[in-house]
């Protein structure tokens, strides 16, 4: 319990930056912000595809009913998009790389990437979960990660 509280505290407070170029991003889900049922994606960067947003919304609805803190019954899948541990680590690397590619200072991108990779996805803020989804989705090339996008699905 104490370890979990320490981790949350560590993830909640960003590094006291003397570097004024750092941008302010929440790493962890804040109390009271675990459910976000708006169809608007919090990430709308280079990998966001407006035409696919309704499908993303449907996937999130079917996976967790929009609960970013959700954990599957087995404990294997976590977050709004139900990613397992290897996928979560991969998303952390992808987010770090995308942050660097879009101008985030190297130290900040590394700092964010390390914190995301070291925490379970259901503890990530909705922004990072949405960003991770879009990076894995990769303009539709990563759709196989979600069963709801198959030929017999409802999405």
pLDDT in tens, 38-74: 899 999 999 999 999 999 999 999 999 999 999 999 9
58 φ, ψ (degrees, to nearest 5):
-65, -45
pTM across the whole model = 0.80
Question: Comparing 21 with 129, which gets the higher pLDDT?
Answer: 129
Is residue 134 pLDDT above 90, yes or no? yes
Q: Could you tell me which residues are beta bridge partners of residue 72?
A: none
pLDDT at position 22, please? 67
Rounded percentage of the chain residues whose pLDDT exceeds 70: 75
Q: Is 95 exposed, middle or buried (0-12, 13-18, 19+ CB in 10 A)?
A: buried
Q: Which tokens sit at 120?
A: 């379970």
Residue 103 Cα distances to 20, 83, 87, 143, 151, angstroms: 14, 27, 24, 27, 38
Give the pLDDT mean for 13-23: 51
């Amino acid at each position: 319990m104490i370890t979990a509280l320490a981790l949350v505290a560590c993830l909640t407070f960003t590094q006291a930056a003397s570097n004024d170029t750092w941008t302010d991003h929440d790493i962890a889900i804040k109390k009271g912000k675990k459910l976000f049922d708006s169809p608007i994606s919090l990430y709308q960067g280079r990998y966001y595809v407006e035409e696919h947003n309704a499908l993303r919304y449907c996937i999130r609805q079917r996976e967790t009913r929009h609960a970013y803190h959700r954990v599957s019954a087995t404990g294997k899948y976590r977050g709004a998009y139900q990613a397992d541990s290897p996928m979560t680590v991969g998303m952390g690397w992808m987010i770090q790389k995308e942050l660097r590619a879009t101008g985030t200072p190297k130290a900040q991108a590394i700092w964010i990437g390390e914190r995301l990779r070291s925490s379970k996805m259901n503890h990530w803020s909705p922004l990072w979960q949405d960003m991770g989804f879009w990076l894995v989705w990769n303009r539709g090339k990563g759709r196989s990660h979600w069963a709801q996008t198959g030929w017999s699905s409802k999405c």
